[in-house]
Each structure stands twice: as structure tokens, then as C-alpha cells.
Homo-oligomer: A and B are copies of this chain.
Amino acid sequence: MKARVHISYKNGVLDPQGRAIGQTLGNLGFAGVGEVRQGKLIEIELAETDAGAARQAVEAMCQRLLANTVIENYSIELVD
């Protein structure tokens, strides 16, 4: 089973990298670009085959390592 974890900054948290991308898109001539936010996408191969147990394990991984829950949100998606 494979898990995809999306990690993004919470609303209101300054995202300088996203802002730099937005400005550069404007400089390149792309019009109508509003706010840009950059987050992380982590894909994890798991030996676990039970979806419930896999989700619980990935939830624990997010809490303990993958996300900084003070400033970041995460969402978990299981594939297969």
C-alpha cells in the first residue's frame, strides 16, 4: 500500500517560497496569477495492507516527524 501525504502551511503563515514563485510567474508574463503556496508531497511505500492500520500509522508519522503541526496542515491519501 502506498500513502501520499500533502503538507501545506496553515492559512496566515507566511510562505516566502510561494510568494517568490508567484512574483516570478508575473515577471515571466503569466497574467491573472493570485496567491501561490508551496507545500510538500511525501509518498511512502508501506508493507501494511489494512487501510485503517495504514492510515493510523501514517497519521502517527505526520505527528511525530513529517509535519510541523504548529504551522502546517497535512492530509493523507491512501493509494491501492
| Chain A residues within CB distance 8 Å of chain B | 6-8, 18, 21-22, 24-25, 28, 30-48, 57, 60-61, 64-66
Contacts and interface: CB of A to CB of B under 8 A. Distances in A.
Nearest to A49: B32
Contacts of A22: 44
Contacts of A38: 40-43
Given A42-B18, A65-B25, A57 B30 contact: yes
A64 B61 CA distance: 34
B43 A8 contact: yes
A40 B21 CA distance: 13
A20 to B, nearest CB: 11
